[in-house]
Structure 1
Amino acid sequence: MGRYVLRRLLQLIPVFIGTTFIIYALVWAIPGDPFAGKCGDRGCPPAYIAEMNQKYNLDDPLIVQYIKYLGKLLTGDFGETYSGTAISSLLEQAYPITVRLAIVALIIEGVIGLAAGVLTGLRGRGFLDNLVLVSTLFLIALPVFVTGFVAQIVLGSELGIIRPTVSSDPSIGELIVPGFVLGSLSMAYVSRLTRTSMMENKHGDFVRTAVAKGLTPRRVVGVHMLRNSMIPVVTFLGTDLGALMAGAIVTEGVFNIRGIGGLVFKGITTQEGTTVTGIVTVLVLVYLLMNLLVDILYAVLDPRIRYD
């Protein structure tokens, strides 16, 4: 098991270098003046532009710029905004809120999606199966911002069950509805994926063998069927946590959540290259760590994987 984890860790290194280089190149290789409009209506003086170019190593070749940036990353320095604010301090303020929102969304989509998928996979065709298929198709077809606005208007403005916008430091309770909105699309995919996997494994040889041995239905389903059916679901849920953190821009905007999505959106609109690069680099790290966790869970669910 230790060698399996070590191999996966070593595989993350070239992936991290490659992805961060592509991100850095896409942000800083865009033609144009990155400091345009930073000095008001008048253009910035040459002295200011020269100082900023030197500060962010923009006079060096792109590969040299990236190597210097990578060196700072290894020391935990994500850079500064053009106004001199450390990006790490922005992350400290915004990231905990986004993490809470993403975890709430992941729990909701995992619990509801798995429950619906297991029930429909075991029961087969019927009213419940058709209801879940229609409901999940509806959620897949509906854009997230529409789901958010409907929940905000109906539950907030009309019924008064929730606040239309959350507070600056929201609690878990305030994030339940935004979390449901954020995870609604993934919840539909989890439900359909679990249903399909359960129906495939229900007729597997290992299930028939377990039944022939006289095992109880609960053990057959909980230990044999569900464990084998969870492998594709674990893959989706693990990678989806990174997607939920990166894709919360719309949900955070609808419910006025001051999270990481707002920082990314503001960085793009104001052309703050350092902010966008630093935050997206953190999201890359989240993706890589979640993929490592998924690989470890693979080995736990099916020991044959680590021997391969």
Structure 2
Amino acid sequence: MGRYILRRLLQLIPVFIGTTFIIYSLVWALPGDPFAGKCGSRACPEAYVQMMTEKYNLDEPLPVQYVLYLGQLFQGNFGETFSGLEVSTLIQNAYPVTIKLAAIALVFEAVIGIAAGILTALRGNGFVDNLVLAATLFLIAVPVFVSGFVVQIVFGVQLGWMNPSVSTDPTIGELVVPGLILGSLSMAYIARLTRTAMFENKRADYIRTANAKGLKPRRVVSVHMLRNSLIPVITFIGTDFGALMGGAIVTEGIFNIPGIGNLVFQAIGGQEGTTVTGVVTLLVIVYLLMNLLVDILYAALDPRIRYD
């Protein structure tokens, strides 16, 4: 297992370099003046443009710019915005909120999605199965921003059961409803994925062998069938955590949540390339680490998988 983890860590290095270079190129190699609009309605003075160009190494070739940025990144320096703010400080202020929001969404989608998938798989074709399939299809068909606006207007404005927007320092309780909205789409996919995997494993030889040995149905389901059925679900959940953190722009915008999604949206609108690069680079690291964690969890879920 140790050699496998080391090999996977080494595989992450070229992936990290390749993805971050593509991100850096997409942000800084696009045509146009990166300092347009930074001095109001008038053009920026030539001295200001030259100073900022040297500060952000924009006078160097793109590969050299990337290497210099990577050197700063390895020192924990995500750069500065054009207004002089540390990007690491902006991330430090916004990231805890997004982590809490993504964690709440992940709990909802994992618990409810897996439970619904197991229930429908064990009950077979019937009322509960059809109800869950119809509900998940509805969640997949309705965009997140539509369900978010409906919940905000109905339960926040008309009924007054919740605040339409969260505070500047939101608590876990304030993020429960936005987290449920954020995780609703993935919840539907997990329910369907669990249901399909359970149906496939019900007909497997090792399940028939376990039943023939006289094991209790609860043990057959929990120890044998569920562990192997959760492998594709764990893969989905692991990769979805990074997607939830980076894809919460709409949900954070609806409920006015000061998180990473809101930070990226403001950075794109203000043409703050350093902020966009830093945040997306951090999301790449989260994706890679979550994929590594998922690969390690495979051995615990399925003893048939051997890494040596």
TM-score under structure 1 length normalisation: 0.99
Partner residue of 1:50? 50
The 2-side partners of 1:218 and 1:304 are apart by 21
The 2-side partners of 1:301 and 1:134 are apart by 30
Deviations 1:246-268 (A, max 9, x none): 00000000000000001100111
Partner residue of 2:267? 267
Structural mapping, 1:235-250, within 5 Å = 235-250=235-250
The 1-side partners of 2:161 and 2:205 are apart by 50
Partner residue of 2:2? 2
The 1-side partners of 2:303 and 2:140 are apart by 34
The 2-side partners of 1:69 and 1:306 are apart by 39
The 2-side partners of 1:47 and 1:306 are apart by 62
**Is 1:71 aligned with 2:71?**
yes
Partner residue of 2:111? 111
Give how far 1:158 is off: 1.6
Structural mapping, 1:169-208, within 5 Å = 169-208=169-208
Secondary structure of 1:174's counterpart equals coil
Structural mapping, 1:87-98, within 5 Å = 87-98=87-98
Name the aligned partner's letter for residue 15 of structure 2.
V
Could you tell me whether the CA contact under 8 Å between 1:148 and 1:251 is conserved in 2?
Answer: yes
The 1-side partners of 2:287 and 2:62 are apart by 25
The 1-side partners of 2:227 and 2:215 are apart by 15
Give how far 1:300 is off: 1.7
Structural mapping, 1:119-138, within 5 Å = 119-138=119-138
Deviations 1:25-74 (A, max 9, x none): 00000001000000011100010000000000000000000000001111
The 1-side partners of 2:43 and 2:107 are apart by 50
**Is 1:145 aligned with 2:123?**
no
Structural mapping, 1:281-292, within 5 Å = 281-292=281-292
The 1-side partners of 2:32 and 2:151 are apart by 41
The 2-side partners of 1:241 and 1:298 are apart by 17
Secondary structure of 2:38's counterpart equals coil
Deviations 1:96-121 (A, max 9, x none): 00000000000000000000000001
Give how far 1:305 is off: 2.8
Structural mapping, 1:211-230, within 5 Å = 211-230=211-230
**Is 1:36 aligned with 2:42?**
no
- Equivalenced residue count is 308
Give how far 1:160 is off: 1.2
Name the aligned partner's letter for residue 25 of structure 1.
S
Give how far 1:151 is off: 0.7
Name the aligned partner's letter for residue 253 of structure 1.
G
Name the aligned partner's letter for residue 212 of structure 2.
A
Partner residue of 2:85? 85
The 2-side partners of 1:116 and 1:212 are apart by 27
Secondary structure of 1:206's counterpart equals helix
Could you tell me whether the CA contact under 8 Å between 1:228 and 1:301 is conserved in 2?
Answer: yes
Partner residue of 2:306? 306
Could you tell me whether the CA contact under 8 Å between 1:4 and 1:306 is conserved in 2?
Answer: no
Aligned-residue sequence identity (percent) comes to 73
Name the aligned partner's letter for residue 216 of structure 1.
K
The 2-side partners of 1:173 and 1:200 are apart by 38
Q: Which runs of 5+ in 1 are unaligned?
A: none
Give how far 1:243 is off: 0.2
Deviations 1:197-227 (A, max 9, x none): 0011011101011111111111100000000
The 2-side partners of 1:257 and 1:5 are apart by 36
